[in-house]
Amino acid sequence: MRHWCLRAIGAGMAEDIADKAIAAMRASHALVLDEGIALYAAELAHQHRLATADALIYATALREKAELITCDAHFEGLLGVNYQPKALA
């Protein structure tokens, strides 16, 4: 897993960052996509003109009372979202 994480993060990235990413993944838990979250996502997709995947992410964050931190401009201005625009290269 560590090798995959290093490769996914990119060449030249410090190994300690890969280790922290792995630790964060191990501390997390998976959520089940159930009918309730799917219906909630459909409402949010319609209300905020979100794509299906974005609506599922947003609905899950709201239901879990989690702050959604993203650089995806589709979420900008939505309640509970910490939008951080991508830095220009």
Residues 20 and 56 in one domain: no
Q: How confident is the model over 45-66, as pLDDT tens digits? A: 999 999 999 999 999 999 999 9
Q: Beta strands of the chain (E only): which ranges?
A: 68-70, 81-83
Domain that holds residue 51: 35-83
The predicted pLDDT at position 29 comes to 83
**3-class secondary structure, 84:** coil
Residues 41 and 1 in one domain: no
The predicted pLDDT at position 13 comes to 56
Distance of CA 17 to the CA centre of its chain: 18
For residue 83, list its beta bridge partners: 70
Residues 48 and 78 in one domain: yes
Give DSSP secondary structure letters for 46-64: HHHT--HHHHHHHHHHHHT
User: DSSP assignment, residue 87?
Assistant: P
Within 13 Å, how many C-alpha atoms sit on residue 59's CB side?
25
pTM value? 0.70
